[in-house]
A and B are shown apart, each in its own frame.
Chain A
Amino acid sequence: MSGDMILYHGEPNGPSLAVLAVLAETGLDIECRWMDLAGGERHRLSGIGEPLARDMGVEGEGPVLVIDGEAMTESVFIAQFLDESGNGALQPQDAYGHWQMLMWCRRITERCAPAAAFLGCRAHAHAGLAAMEDAAFADLRGAIVSEDLASRWSAVRSGDFPEAQVADSKAKVAAAVGLVEEQLEDGRAWLMGPLTIADFETYCWLAGMVELVPDAFAGKARAAGWMARMRARPSVRGALARARRADPEHAWAPGPEINRWG
C-alpha cells in the first residue's frame, strides 16, 4: 500500500459501519477520521483533488476513502479495495462464489439500502434538518454537487415521505431479512458460508432496522442469531466503539435513491 490514505467515516451505522468493520478485519493501518455526515461535512472535506466519486456516488452519504487526493466511495467497493490490499480473506476465491457474493451485495445495495436509508432518515434525520435555519440548510445543500442527492436532503428536511414509499421500504427491509433467514437454512454461520463482505454490507443496513421495522425480524431466529454473531465480532465492536453518540443506529443521512423505474 502506498500513498497518503485517510478514511473519513460517519457514525458507525449503514455504510460507515460496514467499511470500518471490514477495515478492522483486514488489519490494515489506515488513519480514520470521523465526519459529521448528518451535518453535510462530507461535502466540505479538504485535500481532495479528485472529488468525482464523493460528488456523484450512487450510495449517497457514505464513507470516503481518500488516497493521494482521490476520493473513493461505495462501501462494497471500498471493502473490496481494503480486502484486496490486505490478505483477501473476505471474498470467495472461486469465480462462481465471487459472483454469488457480488449478486448478494447488489441485492442489498440496490433494494435494501435505499429502503433502510429512507426509513432511517424519516425516523431520525428529519427532525434535526427541519429545525435548521433556512440559511444554514441552504449552506449545507449548496455544497452538494449532485442535484438528485441534494433533492433527497430537501425531501428529508421537508418531511416528504409518501406512505406508499414507507410501505414499500418496509417490505424491502422484510425481504432482505427473509433472504438472510433463507440463506442460513443449511446451518451455515455466515451468508456465503465463509465470512465475507456480504455479511458486513448486509448487517450494516439491517442493524438500525430492528427497531424501525420489528415485524421484519419477528420469528426469524436464524437471522437473529446471525445478527448477534455479527454484533459480537471484535471488528464490529471496534467500529461501534468509534461512535460519538450513544445510539449510532439512529444516525442517518440521505442514502441511495429509490429505483426510478419503480
Chain B
Amino acid sequence: MAEITLYHWEPNANSGKPMLALMEKGVPFTSHYIDMLQFDQHKPEYLAINRQGTIPAMTHGDRVLVESTAIMEYLDEAFAGPALMPAGARDRWRIRWWMKFMDQWLAPSFSMFGWKFFVGPNAIAAHGKDALEAAIGRIPLPERQVAWRKAVYGLFGEEEMAESARRIDVGIRMLEAELGKREWLASDQYSLADINGFNLAYAMPLSQPHLANDDLTPNIMRWLRAIYRRPATRECWKLGRTPMAARVDILEQDYIGQGAGA
C-alpha cells in the first residue's frame, strides 16, 4: 500500500483533524512537523509539496491532498478501520452541516483570537518586524498574506473582535444544546464531526472558562472528556511540541468551574 505522509503543525485546529482521524483509523503515517511560527510552510521544500503553503497537507503515494476536513473524509473512505461516518444519509448530512458550520463560521472566530494573542505576538518576538514582513511577502496565497498582516500588526478592529466574541458565545451555546440531544455531536456514533469539534473546542474550558465549564456547559464537558479519554487522542496530542497542545491537560480535571484556568 502507498505510504501516507502528513505535514502538520500542532495537534490543534486544522492540523489536528487529519492527525486524529489517522490515529482513530489506525493508519500508519509519517509525521512531518511544520513549524508555522518558523514559516516552514512557506519554504521551498514545503511549497514543492503544497504550492499554496497551507497546513495541513497529506501525501498518499503520489497524490497530494489539502484542506483538513476534506482530507478526513478521504481517509475515512480510503482506509479500513473503524468507520468515522455513519451509514445513514441523514446522519451523514448532519455531520457535514456541523463541520461546515464549525469550519466556516465558528473556527474563524476562535482563530481571530488565537492569531491576535498568540500567533502574531509570538511571530514578532521570534523574528522581529522586518524579517517577519519579508516572510509574509513570500506567502503564496494573497488572502493568507492579509491574515498574517492583520495578526502581526494587530489590525483586527474592535468591531471584528466583538463579532468574533459574539460568535464564540453563540457557537458554544449551540454545541451545548446539540450535545444534549445525543452522546456525540451530530449522530449517535463517534464521527468526523467529533474529531473536528474536539480540535476546535478542547481548550475552551481554559480559554473561555466563563462560557465553557461544568456548571454552564455540562454536555460539552462530558463530550470533551470522553474524546480526551480515547487512546487515539492521547497518542495524537503527544505529537504537540508547544504549550498550545499542552492545554489539553485541563481535561484531566474532574470539575472545572467558571473561574478555572483564567
Chain A residues within 8 Å of B, Cβ to Cβ: 52-53, 56-58, 67, 70, 72-74, 77-78, 80-81, 84-85, 95-96, 98-99, 102-103, 106, 110, 147-148, 259-262
Contacts and interface: CB of A to CB of B under 8 A. Distances in A.
A162 B66 CA distance: 32
A102 B70 contact: yes
B108 A261 contact: yes
A262 B156 CA distance: 11
B118 interface: no
A261 B105 CA distance: 11
Contact of B97 (A53, A84, A102, A260): A53
Interface residues of B, number: 34
29 contacts: A52-B174, A52-B177, A57-B101, A58-B104, A67-B90, A70-B90, A74-B96, A77-B100, A80-B93, A81-B90, A81-B92, A81-B93, A84-B92, A96-B63, A98-B74, A99-B71, A99-B73, A102-B73, A103-B67, A147-B166, A148-B163, A259-B143, A260-B160, A261-B108, A261-B112, A261-B143, A261-B146, A262-B146, A262-B150
Contacts of B70: 99, 102-103, 106
Contacts of A67: 90
A6 to B, nearest CB: 15
Interface in B214-244: none
How would you classify the secondary structure of chain A's contact residues: helix, strand, loop or mixed?
Answer: helix
Given A72-B97, A81-B90, A81-B92, A95 B77 contact: yes
Interface in B44-78: 63, 65-67, 70-71, 73-74, 77-78
Nearest to B109: A260
A260 to B, nearest CB: 6
A84 B63 CA distance: 26
Given A57-B97, A259-B108, 19 more contacts: A52-B178, A56-B101, A56-B105, A57-B101, A58-B104, A72-B94, A73-B97, A80-B89, A95-B78, A96-B63, A98-B77, A99-B70, A99-B71, A103-B70, A260-B160, A261-B108, A261-B143, A261-B146, A261-B150
